[in-house]
Amino acid sequence: MITDTHTHLYSEEFDQDRDEMMQRAKSAGVSRFFIPAIDSGSTERMLDLEKNYPNDVFLMMGLHPTYVKENYKEELAHVREWIDKRNFYAIGEIGIDLYWDKTFLTQQQEAFRTQIQWAKEKKLPIVIHCREAFDEIFEVLESEKGDDLFGIFHCFTGTLEQAKKALSYNMKLGIGGVATFKNGKIDKFLNEINIKHIVLETDAPYLAPTPYRGKRNESAYVSNVVDKLVDIYGLTFEEIAEITTQNSKDIFGV
């Protein structure tokens, strides 16, 4: 059993062949799909996905940092309304993204901190989105650290030093297609990180692994990430699948 801890299966890119895509994933051994929220516009699509695949998908709720704009307080109110209304498996994806736009850095920091505090209140993990913002992310995590802070550093692309710092905040590292890229870099040091700290993800439809790089990603391709970790850790495919799925259970509680 393989777990994809981060996949946007409600994306419009899957509207034409979602059932077939899900079947390909299951045929590849992927049987658990954790679904991150983006903003209020993604909520109904997420709920529809859950309705159609009730035994397979596990929803998160949160406000993605690139969607923190002038109306971010309204968006946060939407997140709060939903986490009070029903159960979710994580608060995510949340964080800071300075790749596209630095205009709303202060608001991103506020939204990140607020949602971390809600996660603690609800005893939920957080799923972190970080792009060109490790220092800013770590600054917030440092102020919020404690036994009640835990989760996943989604799509980890940092250095060994940054990986160790992330682990110090009770985070696991979400490893996906980037690990298979020739210039991905993280494959050079991952063997120095105990596999008990690793979970698998695709971030589908984005960041497809080699040999699909540049094409639409889908959850079946997480098996290519497992193949890469087999090379890195010297374990069998089955061992990687079993250990990383157990790691995901430790985080999500299911």
Element (H, E) at 233: helix 222-233
pTM for the whole thing?
0.97
Give me the percent of the chain exceeding a pLDDT of 90: 98
Confidence of residue 86 (pLDDT cuts 50, 70, 90): very high
**What's the mean pLDDT in 159-183?**
97
Stated as kind and residue range, the H or E segment containing 82 is: helix 72-85
Determine contact, residues 196/247, Cβ cutoff 8 Å: yes
Can you read off the two tokens belonging to residue 243? 């250990």
User: What is d(CA 187, CA 46) in angstroms, rounded to the nearest whole number?
Assistant: 32
Kindly list the structural domains of the chain, giving each domain's residue range(s) and its CATH number in brackets, ordered by start: 2-252 (3.20.20.140)
What's the whole-number mean pLDDT along residues 129-154? 98
User: pLDDT value at position 148?
Assistant: 97
The stretch 46-53 carries a mean pLDDT of 98
Q: What is the mean pLDDT of residues 107-120?
A: 98
The whole-chain average pLDDT of the chain stands at 97
The pLDDT, as a whole number, for residue 111 is 98
Tell me the residue type at 11.
Answer: S
CA 174 to chain centre: 6
75-79, 98-102, 115-119: the lowest-pLDDT one: 98-102
**Mean pLDDT, residues 240-250 taken together:** 98
Q: Which whole-number Å values give the CA distances from 221 to 73, 107, 147, in the listed order?
A: 36, 35, 34
Q: Give the residue-averaged pLDDT of 192-196.
A: 98
pLDDT in tens, 227-236: 999 999 999 9
CA–CA distance, 173 with 171 (Å, rounded to integer): 7
CA-angle at 253, arms to 31 and 38, nearest 5°: 70
The whole-number pLDDT of residue 175 equals 98
Element (H, E) at 3: strand 2-4
pLDDT recorded at residue 13: 97
191-228 burial, b at 16+ Cβ within 10 Å, e below that, comes to: eebebebbbbbbbbbbbbbbebeeeebbbbbbbbbbeb
What pairs with residue 127 in β-bridges? Answer: 92, 152
